[in-house]
Homo-oligomer: A and B are copies of this chain.
């Protein structure tokens, strides 16, 4: 990371991401049984449409057994459903139920309250930096 001109940049970035992830996991929408993991997977399915189990696992940066557990939780909640792959009997498609789409819209305002509150303490410039950083963070993941 030569442009950083900071020998501790990578270390500091890793630490910041870990600490942010702890903060994100800690906040639960108490009256809605949705963990941070489930919200992330739900959002992924909402943005990208149905995926196979392996695709969703890769997107979420976990192994298949981990995403299977998350999927099971969401299926029990009626938010997600499995369906057969059109051409390959081994694969399983995972997609949102109509109920989930409503739930996601209904929860968006409250979920965003997290960032709204934080953003109150940011300048316009800082908010712009954050907005432009998101695609770079996504690129870092892939």
Contact = CB atoms under 8 A, between A and B. Distances in A.
Contact of A115 (B13, B15, B16, B127): B13
Nearest to A43: B11
A129 B118 CA distance: 20
A114 B10 contact: yes
B128 A129 contact: no
B11 A39 contact: yes
A20 B137 contact: yes
A23 to B, nearest CB: 5
Nearest to A124: B3
B9 A134 contact: yes
A29 interface: no
Contact of A14 (B6, B39, B133): B39
A71 to B, nearest CB: 16
A131 B4 contact: yes
A134 B40 CA distance: 22
A36 B61 CA distance: 16
A139 B115 contact: no
A4 B116 CA distance: 11
B3 A15 contact: no
A138 B20 CA distance: 8
Contacts of A20: 17, 21, 61, 137, 140-141
Most buried by B among A3, A21, A111, A136: A136
